[in-house]
Amino acid sequence: MARTAGAMVAPGKGLLAADESAGTAKKRFDTIGVESTEETRRGYREMLFTTPKLSNYVSGVILFDETLRQSTRDGVNFGRYLEQNGIIPGIKVDAGAQDMALHPGEKVTEGLDKLAGRMEEYFRMGARFAKWRAVITIGDGIPTQACIDANAHALARYSAICQAASIVPVVEPEVLLDGHHSAETSEAVHLRTLETLFHELATQDVLLEHVILKASMVVSGSRNANQAGVQEVAERTIRVLKRTVPAALPGIVFLSGGQSDANATAHLDAMNRIGTMPWPLTFSYSRALQHMALTTWRGDAAKIPAAQQALAHRARMNSLAARGQWSAEAEKPA
């Protein structure tokens, strides 16, 4: 697990989150006029995973259960294909966020039942890390401490089950950017959430040296007219992390959480320019890596090379950001 965790956050590399459920995949395919079937999803994943030189920038890929069981057109299982090409296969294992009883507007993530058996199967199938996402919503009177406690406890139990199966847990307590809240409010909620999470991880005897945090950034609510600038987001996010995340963690990867491609890259770059951190800071993006590739592809096999070029470009930009070396100039075509 130590080797896996270290490789996941190797300098200049990050994770490609390709763990969208069939429902989420359908929503994305609807935007480009492509029917979401098992075969179209398989073809799209193959386009992503076979991108030339992807391993230069991507250390691991988070897969959905369906995808881990699929193969390339040549019959090579996707997990095996990634491993053969220097990329670590991972797996999303939670069963999604459900309404929390007696807590209107709040969610708790389910999926702990029989998880130990599933983990053993995933390990045999080649997965070496896993991911569990919790959802924290900011609104009128929320999040409650009960919601934060419930999700942190589930994340900690999941992490213990992962480590018992020799799988590195990625813990993702996502504070949603939806809402009218300020960056200051977001910072306070992030602080509470991460304090609670690491208390629960300690209570469950989880080895922090074998845990990766997938964190959201301290941004203003998407419906707030006063959006925090890039530097403010970076400073607030780093302040929260330094106050809550133990130095024992091998690294922190960020989710894009609905940010634009450019903002996700700029924020990551700004954080890495602040100075030396106790942990590497890199990316674990889904939409912010895939969007350009998806809209270029549009289900047309003839456009696969151009779509792969788009993915490689965004991966390279975020690789630069993970080193604090990105600039708007780098975005321009060579």
Active site residues: 172, 214
HEC assignment per residue over the chain: CHHHHHHHCCCCCEEEEECCCHHHHHHHHHCCCCCCCHHHHHHHHHHHHCCCCHHHCEEEEEECHHHHCCECCCCCEHHHHHHHCCCEEEEECCCCEEECCCCCCCEEECCCCCHHHHHHHHHHCCCCEEEEEEEECCECCECCHHHHHHHHHHHHHHHHHHHHCCCEEEEEEEECCCCCCCHHHHHHHHHHHHHHHHHHHHHCCCCHHHCEEEECCCCCCCCCCCCCCHHHHHHHHHHHHHHHCCCCCCEEEECCCCCCHHHHHHHHHHHHHCCCCCCCEEEEECHHHHHHHHHHHCCCHHHHHHHHHHHHHHHHHHHHHHCCCCCHHHHCCC
284-319 exposure pattern, b = at least 16 Cβ within 10 A, e = fewer: bbbbbbbbbbbebbeeeeeebeebbebbbbbbbbbb
Packing angle, helices 145-164 and 183-203, rounded to 10: 50
